[in-house]
Amino acid sequence: MKRVLMLLLIPFVVSAGDWTPLFNGKNLDGWTPKFKGCELGENYKDTFRVENGVLKVCYDKYEKFDNRFGHLFWRAPLSNYVLRVEYRFVGEQTKGGPGWAFRNSGAMLHCPNPETMTKDQDFPVSIEVQLLGGPGTGNRTTANICSPGTHIVMDGKLETRHCINSKSKTYHGDQWVTVEIEVRADGSSRHIIEGQTVFEYTEPQLDEKDTNARKLIESGADRKLRGGYIALQAESHPLEFRKVEVRPLGK
């Protein structure tokens, strides 16, 4: 099995207003995988790989999914930024993947240091920008919100629902979709597709009733989430990321 450990203490500095790629199109430099049941840095069955300039989530070496939820963490925490990802789902879901994970992935925001994750933890405590592909017919929005160990506020009301749909249209088939995620230091965020805001919220925060979040709070973490690590998700359906880039927001 490949083991990759790349959480480096290297400053991440970009000029205000510039888009800076986090994925170099060649390899996984700057990224560290964490899979359920594995140590940090183990790229289980070569799931995350780079081929033909594309960052891929692949399951061709799996016999079955076996709940091996995976996340690929960028090396440094971020705050007050816009994250832009260009993704598409391809092929068939891996045998044994849960039904809800069909054409399902995510960009995880406000993650704690991945070194805090337990070996058997499914998902990092985070705000998940849920990326969904259409099944071919019907409606299925993307750039939704899910909340492993967290809550958000919408229209002045604390939302405790685990997943909340956006107002996006449905993207069927293997087409590329570009999502911009604006994450401001004051806690406000919005998701943008094709120039249209499809989701907005404020005050992301830790859920003290969640076991993993409570451990973070007990270790001194601030309940208010204003920045953190980001991660790309692997939930049993193959997909590709053509771009992963970030732009800092001004004061």
Mean pLDDT of 228-247: 98
Query: pLDDT at position 18, please?
Result: 87
The phi, psi pair for 116, rounded to 5°, reads: -85, -10
Asked if pLDDT for residue 5 goes beyond 90, the answer is no
Mean pLDDT of 153-172: 97
Mean pLDDT of 99-121: 98
pLDDT digits (tens, 9 = 90+) for 10-44: 334 444 468 999 999 999 999 999 999 999 999 99
What is the side-by-side strand order in the sheet with 163-164?
A: 31-35, 70-74, 229-234, 104-111, 127-132, 144-146, 163-164
pTM (two decimals): 0.92
Tokens 């069927």: give the residue. 172
Percent of the chain at pLDDT exceeding 70:
93
Total domains in the chain come to 1
Q: Is residue 24 part of a domain?
A: no
Q: Whole domain around residue 114: which residue ranges?
A: 34-248
Burial 18-31 (b: 16+ CB within 10 A, else e): eeeebbeeeebebb
Mean pLDDT of 165-190: 97
Q: Is residue 196 part of a domain?
A: yes
Q: Is residue 18 part of a domain?
A: no
Q: Is residue 29 part of a domain?
A: no
* Beta-bridge mates of residue 42: 3
pLDDT digits (tens, 9 = 90+) for 134-151: 999 999 999 999 999 999
Asked if pLDDT for residue 1 goes beyond 70, the answer is no
CATH number at residue 182: 2.60.120.560
157 vs 101, 151, 162, 202, CA distance in Å? 28, 10, 15, 10
The phi, psi pair for 150, rounded to 5°, reads: -140, 170
Q: Is residue 76 part of a domain?
A: yes
Percent of the chain at pLDDT exceeding 90:
92
Q: Is residue 53 part of a domain?
A: yes
Cβ atoms of 56 and 21 within 8 Å: the answer is no
Cβ atoms of 204 and 189 within 8 Å: the answer is yes
Q: Is residue 131 part of a domain?
A: yes
Give residue 196's pLDDT band: very low, low, confident or very high (50, 70, 90): very high
Q: Is residue 17 part of a domain?
A: no
